[in-house]
Amino acid sequence: MNKIKKEKFQYRILFSVPGRIRLQAEGLKLNNNLADFLEGYLYHLEEIISVKASMKTGNIVITYNSSVINENAILSYIRTIHYRNLEDSGVQPRSQGFLLTEEKSLIKRFSLVSVTASLLASLISLKRAAAVLVIGFPAMIPVITYYSLNNTLLYLKKRDGIIINNIKAVRLTQNIKRILFHPDIIFMEKTPESMNYMSGIQIESMIANGELRDPVKTEMRELVKNLRRAGYNSLYVFDERKKDGRLEYARISLGISPVPKKKRYNTVIIPQGVKYTKPDVLTIVTGTNHNSGGGIRDNNIYCKDLSEIPLLVRNCFRSHEYLIKSQTAALSVAAFGIMLAFTGYMAIFTSLLFYCINLLGNLVYLRHAILNLTEELPYGEQRKYDSA
């Protein structure tokens, strides 16, 4: 069986005859976004007759005109797929207002607009210039950001199964892109030693025949499924051993990949008792003794159950979207106020009042939106937590 690897995207050739080819793609199982992307991407080739990507089996069936194009040309086209394609196509969750969350860049740009407008207004009147500077004072940006993160922290602290102590962990959770799993949370505690020396395909076949028990935890399968439903598809696993059939089986079965070389991941999920320290990497610790959170690091989150993780990251991402909306609204209103001050419709005192109302309105919006988040659970079920 052939196996071809291309940085992040991996596939196997399962069956091939002229005019038809069947591939197994890692990461396709339970991943509807990737299935849609692959079908659309391959249909760009005019010689392809049909493409069927199944998220149930993780396979892709390609039918093509063998008199015009051959198998090697199609495989060469598939090898052009990498995760930049996937991210740009929405397979990974991406914030539409990512630049707005970069406080330093945003403050510089808005300050430039404010100062430029103030200099122009000073040619007419110094009072107008002062009013413009008051409305264009960029302090509202870090205030709104801090308030949003702090309210997200309060929202998470009211949940029994989570321990989180610092705003830094909230910020890291809002920017999750690639998630790395420790093997100990994937597999059951007792698995046959012989599995380590088998291939993933052998293990999959023996499980299908009832000769072996599935070594992957049911909770882990639910975790992967729910993370993908929440929009997180860049999932990886520690692969430190040269030969481990269990890990190969897990990658095939769950559709996850080995740790990519020269690519940074910013989130790791480990079981309780495993030591892992890396700066600027969010560490989610899972275990039953969730009340022993003393000494937890700033970039650590302690989750009692694996089932809490998809809701945690999804709702942090949603609070991040509320922050972007608030920043956009605040800057739009401030720009309108600068125009009014520039044309002389607002004096200094009125400008100060306008600034305070703008800031206060956005803070009230953020508190209401974040503290009243409704949990988005699979199959349309919803759950709402009362405010503390």
pLDDT tens for 40-78 read 788 878 888 988 888 777 789 999 988 888 888 888 888
- Whether residue 167 contacts residue 196, with contact meaning beta carbons closer than 8 Å, is answered with no
Tell me the whole-structure pTM to 2 decimals.
Answer: 0.66
Report residue 308's pLDDT band, with 50, 70 and 90 as the boundaries.
Answer: confident
Inter-residue contact 347 to 131 (CB < 8 Å): yes
> How many other C-beta atoms are found inside a 10 Å radius of the C-beta of residue 99?
11
| Cα separation, 262 vs 377, whole angstroms | 34
Per the prediction, the chain carries an average pLDDT of: 77
Q: Residue type at 362?
A: N
Q: What is the pLDDT of residues 114-163, one digit of tens each?
A: 999 999 999 998 989 999 999 988 889 889 988 988 888 888 887 777 88
260 or 112: which leads in pLDDT:
112
Angle at 201 between CA 197 and CA 202, to 5 degrees: 55
Residue 378 has pLDDT above 50, yes or no: no
pLDDT at 380 over 50: no
Q: At what angle do helices 245-254 and 218-229 cross, to 10 degrees?
A: 40
For 15-45, write each residue's pLDDT tens digit.
Answer: 899 999 999 887 676 666 677 778 878 887 8
Report whether pLDDT(290) > 80. no
C-alpha–C-alpha distance, residues 91 and 373, integer Å: 24
DSSP 65-126: -TTT--HHHHHHHHTT--HHHHHHTTSS---TTGGGG-HHHHHHHHHHHHHHHHHHHHTT-H
